[in-house]
A and B are shown apart, each in its own frame.
Chain A
């Protein structure tokens, strides 16, 4: 084989698709699903008005979300360049394979996603501008990751670069410090020059990164490591003594993984504040955004749960490492301490969010009477915490099992359902599409409920939980279901929806709140003894 960049890229690309095609497909469909869901719901209610100026902001926001979601998938699929370092390939060839196809994938995905939305929803959103921008942002991300992979300088360096690029993208949608005022319909020659310049810079940065990494000369910031060590010494971590195995393992789990969710929340909050600066800057807008983020915490919680449940020796392998698996700690006690760590993590994350939310409320009060508070909805706060708990512990159980097949199955079912729902919505009468959606959603609720029952039955049979715990879980679930039933009777629902179908779906989702108490020991046991 001629080892030209083209040939090498062709071979390595084929390998990447062979290894990760399922993730790329799931990433594409998953990234597309959010805008399709929300915009589809708006259209079903007749609220999707193409000429509405708010659609510009929606387009801008969805483009970012889908770009980021798919970009993360592509990064995972491309893998670390270090695996190519021992092959007889030049640095430019390695970088070419790492950067060019992945950037093209992100570029293509952004264009195709917008095109699908245009076709299915009758929109007329521009294709090229954001696609070029997200390809460029992805390349920036990749190149900085390559150069600063072992350095804490990554955060300020990458953050600074992304802010500059975001400002440029924002400027193509209207004034920088205001809501977007128009679509990016025309890609000017100046845009093309800037795009080409940034791509060339990314290539140069990536090349420098690979050249350094290949000979073990990565940029490392020793100062921060030194400071971290000094602080830990000052706080007496040398004299650490654990009373028992559970305490030691709790320390292990918390130190290594427990801070993920609070850290994500902590990062999202200032990001929100920065983004808020680029919108209309009103305090009500900020309060609303932070409140909505209370629901979005569930996504961060699921990531935190997946990381917390990873018992593998690396991020790439979730199979329990022998170092942990051979610790003489009972599986049930271990799963309980993991759930306790998840709860602790959740409390910290929610506390951060609550403090920020309270600060924004105070800010609104200080802003004067021209900003009246929104009506108080009592169940939003407990609902947000419950949703975050459910998402976190579901993620925990999935990764705790150490088997990638479960997320694949769930992702496959979700994508299959989404595609079918889109086909049904496009090709069948509205009444049938409504029936299909309601039927599948209520069926989903029943299935979730049955899965929870199955997990509890199995855990009882294996003596991983006892009758008292099952009774408590049952009573808790009953209370939640009754509260949901009561609340549903007082909620206004859309004309096409049925209360009983909604109730079934909500009950099924609520059952997931008690699911982990039975599923976590089962998952850990199956991971520990394969």
Chain B
């Protein structure tokens, strides 16, 4: 396994009385595409802002390229390309000014690549940023983030505002190209089909805690949907053991289980349940099971 490009250890962060990150520990290896998943307010952007040195760790530590991003912004940010969630760009600049300005910060800036990206994204060099649509702003932001060929590309909700063609064909291709060159992409998203398509590894963040962190194949192969028939009817089925999510009532239940077939058989026997069917499961279902499982179980109870 590659050495970690980002190491986050027991990171805690509060804004006022609200605890946003509650002991996040995460190790992101060099190379590949890492997807950070989470619902609204899960703390994804807060994690990304810590890795960029925009937030100082209140407790725990953050290392990027082995450096503290707050103490050494030049050493870390010079090797990072970043696209923010809100697409903040200076409205008063023209596209060519934005490119010239950004170029000055990065010794590895590739003018030819920048120009090819500008053509690919169909950005008029004389256009003012303030006249761009949200999607065009996202493209301009991507151009600036990519043109210096960063070792680490951090994308905060990159698909937001992009049309399906750009999102699927262009962004996806760029991300894969970077990963194939041995560089690293860290992106946050709640578009799970997109994550499933491009990510090599994922972490699911829920209520400030890492619920799951593993390779994409491992995640998909390690979870299954199991249809059970219980010997005696129950009114509710709290998540426990390998069963991380349950839907149903009475004798018949549809469960999301974590483990291999043997584990599932043993757990079903302990419940005195008959396994009706075992199916592969999508990332979407795993995410819902991991983050909304308790809510759904509570819904069944009610």
Contact = CB atoms under 8 A, between A and B. Distances in A.
Contact of A529 (B53, B86, B101): B53
Given A326-B77, A528-B53, A248 B88 contact: no
A382 interface: no
Chain A contact-residue range equals: 20 to 34
A329 B88 contact: no
B125 A331 contact: no
B56 A241 contact: no
Contacts of A331: 73
A322 B105 contact: no
Nearest to B103: A242
A317 to B, nearest CB: 10
A468 interface: no
Interface in B82-109: 82, 84, 86, 88-90, 92, 96-97, 100-101, 103-106
Interface in A232-254: 233, 237-238, 240-245, 247-248, 251-252
A255 B92 CA distance: 10
B101 A251 contact: yes
Q: Is the interface of B mostly helix, strand, loop or mixed?
A: loop
Contacts of A248: 100-101, 103-105
A252 B101 contact: yes
B74 A241 contact: no
A255 B82 CA distance: 24
Interface in A320-370: 320-323, 325-331
A242, A325, A326, most chain B CB atoms within 10 A: A326
B103 A238 contact: no
A255 B93 CA distance: 10
A237 B101 CA distance: 12
Chain B contact-residue range equals: 20 to 34
Interface in A160-194: none
Contacts of B55: 529-530
Nearest to B57: A529
A313 interface: yes
Nearest to A238: B96
A530 B101 contact: no
Contacts of B52: 322, 325-326
A62 B100 CA distance: 49
Nearest to B141: A323
A331 B101 CA distance: 18
Given A322-B84, A326-B80, A329-B74, 9 more contacts: A238-B125, A248-B103, A321-B88, A325-B53, A330-B74, A528-B53, A529-B54, A529-B55, A529-B56
26 contacts: A233-B126, A238-B96, A238-B125, A240-B97, A240-B100, A242-B100, A243-B104, A245-B105, A248-B100, A252-B90, A256-B92, A322-B82, A322-B88, A323-B88, A323-B89, A323-B90, A325-B52, A325-B54, A326-B80, A326-B82, A327-B77, A328-B77, A528-B73, A529-B53, A530-B54, A530-B55
Interface of B: 49, 52-56, 70, 73-74, 76-78, 80, 82, 84, 86, 88-90, 92, 96-97, 100-101, 103-106, 125-126
